[in-house]
Chain A
Amino acid sequence: MVVKVENLVKRYGDLIALDHLNLSVGEGEVFGLLGPNGSGKTTAINCILSLLKYDKGDIEVFDKPMTPTAYELKRNIGIIFQNVAVFEELTVYENIDYFCGLYVTDKLKRKQLVEEAIDFVGLNDFCKFYPKKLSGGLLRRLNIACGIAHKPKLIILDEPTVAVDPQSRNNILEGIQKLNRQGTTIIYTSHYMEEVEQICTRIAIMDKGKIVASGTKEELKGMIKTGEKITVEIFGAECAQTVGIKNIAGVNSVECVGNTLVVKSQRGKNNLTEVVEYLKQHSIGYGKIFCELPTLNDVFLEITGKQLRDNA
């Protein structure tokens, strides 16, 4: 195992930030840690990295106990923090070179690694720029380059796309997948379920310091009753008129807010035809209709009873 956490407990006074957390990450995985803000993702990462004291539990990285002085383990770990961790007084090149230099002392080798990292994140045209001259997206890329330049075997990304424009976000996600294809194990924390769905091979959903579900995205979606979600834009009707949809065989739930109707069906059931027929019969006008499979948000909602997004 690249990372193995057993019964990790971390308390801040009376608040239990991590409640007997267990997780394991295998070699070559892109492991997603999904949860709303305050669910304990970053705390878990900081404990794994031996930055934070914890009350109880065991943490192993590369099958060895992780400690603050486990320098051989640290040499193979790269971290990309949620906040940009670079020095304002150093240029793009100097920042990457400085942090890489804490891992690689050979100057020639380091030069090559720094150039590869710059190339990887696409900052070739900005080498002499100071961080304050970079846009938010470019700054995130610099942050990533600082964390990966020394070619670690395990890269931990803690919400690296917060406040990043869509184009930069795509670049970052593609980069992570590229690193994984090169053999790097990735731990990716986020509260953006789309990102986690897009890149992670295995996902753990966290809430209140616990892993509430884990598996591949298909496995996670298989854990809930909802198999399909139909969203309909309705006109000229009261929500009360749609209550009868719930009587259609296979329908789990009906939600109507304003002019948006959401019908959730059991797995294996496709109720689209019946729903449209119901609307016609009851003279309810309808516009756009979407059919979609359940998302991780639906999984989170069904398991915890609350929206992932609401807390994000």
Chain B
Amino acid sequence: MKLGITLAVVFGSLCSSLPLLAHHSFAAEYDSRKTITVHGIVQKVAWVNPHAYVWVDVKDENGKVVTYAFESLSPNALMRGGWTRNSLKAGDEVTVDGYLAKDGKPLADGSIHANSKLITLADGRKVFAGSSADNAEPTK
């Protein structure tokens, strides 16, 4: 499968949807209208609190690799959802659906800051589903 970015920024009303939240307010950190879907290779997984993070290397249209850092749920929540620290590994080919951070600022390591709601492996298995935001409070 060709690696590439599908970036869809949806400016629709999400008034009828239900935001999901983590230990922090989702709406204060991520923009529910800036949904993204990226396809790439897992660079690393951090099984840490308060949220697990998944870094994904993605080739853009010019072939340049950019890294996204996706916030997932907390390890205790992921564990009770049936996943472990080994459910997703460096080198795995994945498609990630998520949301971009509101402030548009990268994390300290330079990666693009986003929130994942679903990670799909190349064989179709879905892992780390149920993000801190399947839907979110519309930005006013």
Q: Do A and B come from one complex?
A: no
